[in-house]
């Protein structure tokens, strides 16, 4: 009877979540882990940044990922960046 902690309904949030999940591949129960806890490395960070640029037209500063966000923090950052018009964002 577990409710989803933070249901994603916004298309930007859905896309950001999909990119994170496809690249970092969290196992069931690992959804709340941080970038590095999910074995994120520079290659996966570059793939996330490139996918965001390709799919959402935004430039996420790679340092955001190296600050070791969890999925919720990452999604909020991406959504804020899209809302701000896609200018590069650093943490």
Chain segment 42-85, per-residue pLDDT in tens: 999 999 999 999 999 999 999 999 999 999 999 999 999 999 98
Chain segment 65-76, per-residue pLDDT in tens: 999 999 999 999
Question: pTM of the prediction?
Answer: 0.84
Fold of 11-23+35-83: 1.10.1200
The confidence score (pLDDT) of residue 7 equals 56
Locate the domains of the chain by residue range.
11-23+35-83
Distance CA 66, CA 12 (A): 21
- Residues of 67-76 as b/e, b for ≥16 C-beta within 10 angstroms? bbbebeebbe
Number of residues that make up the chain: 91
State phi, psi for 55 to the nearest 5 degrees.
-90, -30
């Amino acid at each position: 009877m577990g409710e989803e902690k933070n249901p994603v309904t916004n298309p930007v949030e859905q896309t950001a979540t999909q990119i994170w999940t496809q690249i970092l591949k969290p196992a069931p129960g690992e959804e709340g882990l941080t970038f590095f806890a999910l074995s994120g490395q520079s290659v996966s960070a570059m793939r996330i940044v490139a996918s965001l640029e390709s799919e959402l037209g935004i430039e996420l500063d790679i340092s955001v990922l190296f600050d070791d966000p969890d999925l919720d923090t990452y999604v909020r950052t991406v959504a804020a960046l899209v809302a701000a018009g896609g200018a590069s964002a650093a943490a």
